[in-house]
Amino acid sequence: MKPFTRLDAVAAPLPLANIDTDQIIPKQFLKTVERDGLAKGLFYDLRFEGDGRAKPDFVLNRPEYKGAGALICGDNFGCGSSREHAPWALMDFGITCVISTSFADIFYNNCFQNGLLPVVLKADEVQALMEEAKGGNHVTSIDLEAQTVVSPSGKTYRFDIDPTRKHKMLNGLDAIGETLQAAKAIDVYETRRALSHPWLEDAH
């Protein structure tokens, strides 16, 4: 997993509440277990007409938000069914941070397992960022080490995060990466077990 330290990127405003995982990545795009190629399905029904033409008014189709690396969203983002493809699709599109007042629990946990940073701010702070993102300067800075979001105009907002999750994000540790930190100790244990209980090895 790629470490998340600091992001300086265009932030796109998506002032919709209760965006569920089926809106983030519709079910027809769930036929793969690969993380690459899911960007085409991100917000598909919001981004495209029924005939596949891009909707020019949708925020991620607008030229000023091209290459957006962050989303500023309404309440309860990522609700609905458990769907790890949702953070995968966001990240494949290039979005590595989502800012909201609240997230659905399963989506929130999946974000940390995949290197996408979910930032929770107060309602008035999210609204202020949303308004600035609609203006002429869209670049927002998210600093995980400092736990701050700096708006295009320079206003700073602080967010809370669990220290363990912060450590994992800063160091790019998913569940596998965290386990591999103990690889030497695991090897020592396996060697000792093989010497003291050789019949267990024969069982393999």
Structural domains in the chain plus CATH codes = 6-172 (3.20.19.10), 174-204 (no CATH)
Share of the chain above pLDDT 70, in %: 85
Average the pLDDT over 171-185 and give the result: 61
**DSSP secondary structure of 2-26:** ----EEEEEEEEE--S--BHHHHS-
Residue 182 — pLDDT band, cuts 50, 70, 90? Answer: very low
As a whole number of angstroms, the distance between CA 27 and CA 116 comes to: 21
Between the CA atoms of 124, 141, 75 and 43, what dihedral angle is there, to the nearest 10 degrees?
Answer: 140
Work out the average pLDDT over 17-41.
91
Cα angle value 79/83/89 (rounded, 5°): 100
* CA distance readout (Å), 106 to 12, 21, 70, 87, 111: 23, 10, 20, 11, 9
40: pLDDT confidence band, cut at 50, 70 and 90? Answer: very high
Q: What value does the mean pLDDT of the chain take?
A: 89
Helices of type H across the chain: 21-24, 44-47, 85-93, 105-114, 123-133, 163-171, 175-180, 183-196, 198-202
pLDDT digits (tens, 9 = 90+) for 146-161: 999 999 999 999 999 9
